[in-house]
Amino acid sequence: MTLGSEQSLAAAVSEATAILLDAGVPSPRIDAELLADHLLGVGLGRLRAMMLGDTPAPDGYAELVAERAQRIPLQHITGVAHFRYLELAVGPGVFIPRPETESVVQLVIDHVQGMVHPRIVDLGTGSGAIAGSIAHEVPGAEVHAVEYSPFAHAWAATNLAPLGVKLILGDLRDALPELNGTFDVVISNPPYIPAEAIPNEPEVALHDPPEALYGGGADGMELPTAAAASAARLLVPGGYFVMEHAEVQAGWIAGMMQRTGVWSEITTHLDLNGKERATSAVLAGPHHE
Ligand SMILES: C[S@@+](CC[C@H](N)C(=O)[O-])C[C@H]1O[C@@H](n2cnc3c(N)ncnc32)[C@H](O)[C@@H]1O
Task: Name which residue sits closest to atom 24 of ligand 1, judged by CA.
Answer: 212
Statement to judge: residues 65 and 115 lie in one domain: no
Statement to judge: residues 227 and 96 lie in one domain: yes
CATH number at residue 161: 3.40.50.150
Q: What is the pLDDT of residues 141-151, one digit of tens each?
A: 999 999 999 99
Range of the domain at 264: 92-283
Mention every residue, 6+ apart, whose C-beta is less than 8 A from residue 110: none
pLDDT at 285: 66
Residues present in the chain in total:
289
Residue 267 belongs to a domain: yes
Statement to judge: residues 57 and 98 lie in one domain: no
- Ligand 1 atom with least separation from CA of 83: 9
Residues β-bridged to residue 269: 278
Mutation pick for ligand 1 pocket among 98, 106, 172 (CB with most ligand atoms within 8 Å): 172
Statement to judge: residues 59 and 116 lie in one domain: no
Residue 78 belongs to a domain: no
Residue 76 belongs to a domain: no
Confidence class of residue 137 from pLDDT cuts 50, 70 and 90? Answer: very high
Mutation pick for ligand 1 pocket among 103, 147, 186, 221 (CB with most ligand atoms within 8 Å): 147
Task: Please compute the mean of the pLDDT values over residues 163-171 and round it to a whole number.
Answer: 98
- With a cut of 50, say whether residue 167 has pLDDT above it: yes
Statement to judge: residues 47 and 166 lie in one domain: no
Q: Give all strands of the β-sheet with 142-147 in edge-to-edge order.
A: 166-169, 142-147, 119-123, 183-188, 235-244, 276-283, 263-270
pLDDT at 287: 44
Residue 4 belongs to a domain: no
Residues β-bridged to residue 122: 145, 187
Contact 120, 108 (CB under 8 A): yes
pLDDT at 252: 97
Statement to judge: residues 99 and 66 lie in one domain: no
Statement to judge: residues 29 and 134 lie in one domain: no
Residue 82 belongs to a domain: no
Contact 219, 246 (CB under 8 A): no
Residue 165 belongs to a domain: yes
pTM of the model: 0.94
Mention every residue, 6+ apart, whose C-beta is less than 8 A from residue 43: 37
Residue 245 belongs to a domain: yes
Question: Which of 188, 262, 253, 196 minimizes the C-alpha distance to 225?
Answer: 253
pLDDT at 98: 97
- Ligand 1 atom with least separation from CA of 126: 27
How many CB atoms within 10 Å of residue 237? 12
